[in-house]
Amino acid sequence: DSGVTQTPKHLITATGQRVTLRCSPRSGDLSVYWYQQSLDQGLQFLIQYYNGEERAKGNILERFSAQQFPDLHSELNLSSLELGDSALYFCASSGGQGSDYEQYFGPGTRLTVT
Amino acid sequence: GENVEQHPSTLSVQEGDSAVIKCTYSDSASNYFPWYKQELGKRPQLIIDIRSNVGEKKDQRIAVTLNKTAKHFSLHITETQPEDSAVYFCAADPYIYNNNDMRFGAGTRLTVKP
């Protein structure tokens, strides 16, 4: 167990809908990252937040947005969903105890768009 | 931005043999190179990492080498065991304090045959 939690574990929704994925980082970690992993694909970096502020942006679509709240949990909002958005979405955190570098991954949220 | 290429995409070895996975990166500012292991349906887990001021690092049966001039780094697993079977991802990150922009390779599916 990495200490990073994500909810829900699974999500099934229809095209055109909007969903929110939630992530709670490890205790003490200030950075949260979001990744997308499509079937049999690698990990695509979406976005990073540090202590409530956006720090780095990767291949995140305009239909997607994220935020980090004062209690450091983060939410990833996906709107106008398309079939191609079906994927495993991972959250990771870092910056607390131990190395600043190492990212600890949560168990992921599997999103299925039908 | 950073571009990480990883080879091979699949690798099959006999138990007890060695396995080598190679990655190249494009951004000379990258200074942190982790390797993650992902078992089927599970989260990526860090197995070893190396920083740009080090050329080689070893942890029991796994080792990583880094050639900054050539911009490539490799993972070496010796005395492979069936439980080493998984997908391995390399990554490169131009890490600045609490500001990551980690990019992953496409992954290598390693199969260790008993």
| Per-residue confidence (pLDDT) for residue A96, from 0 to 100 | 62
Mean pLDDT across B49-72:
92
Which of A26, A34, A29 lies closest to A65, judged by CA?
A34
Distance CA A87, CA B22 (A): 26
| Per-residue confidence (pLDDT) for residue B99, from 0 to 100 | 65
**Going by DSSP bridges, is the β-strand pair B10-14/B108-113 parallel, antiparallel, or unpaired?**
parallel
Q: How confident is the model at residue A100 (pLDDT cuts 50, 70, 90)?
A: low
Q: Is the pLDDT of residue A97 over 60?
A: no
Subunit contact B49:A101, Cβ cutoff 8 A: yes
Mean pLDDT across B33-42:
93
| Per-residue confidence (pLDDT) for residue A2, from 0 to 100 | 81
Select the residue from A9, A31, A45 to test the B interface by mutation, using most B Cβ atoms within 10 A: A45
Q: How confident is the model at residue A42 (pLDDT cuts 50, 70, 90)?
A: confident
Is the peptide bond prior to A8 cis by the omega test (within 30 degrees of 0)? yes
Rg for chain B, CA atoms, rounded: 14
Subunit contact B95:A101, Cβ cutoff 8 A: yes
Q: Is the pLDDT of residue A98 over 60?
A: no
Which chain B residue has the Cα nearest residue A38?
A: B106
Which of B67, B69, B65, B91 lies closest to B77, judged by CA?
B65
Residue-wise burial string across B70-100, b where 16 or more C-beta atoms lie within 10 A, e elsewhere: ebbbbbbbeebeeebbbbbbbbbbbbeeeeb
Mean pLDDT across B80-88:
97
Mean pLDDT across A36-63:
88
Q: In Å, what is the CA distance from A33 to each residue of A41, A102, A109, B93, B110?
A: 18, 12, 14, 13, 26
A38 touches chain B (CB under 8 A): no
A102 vs B contacts (CB less than 8 Å): 34, 46, 49
**3-state secondary structure at position A85:** helix
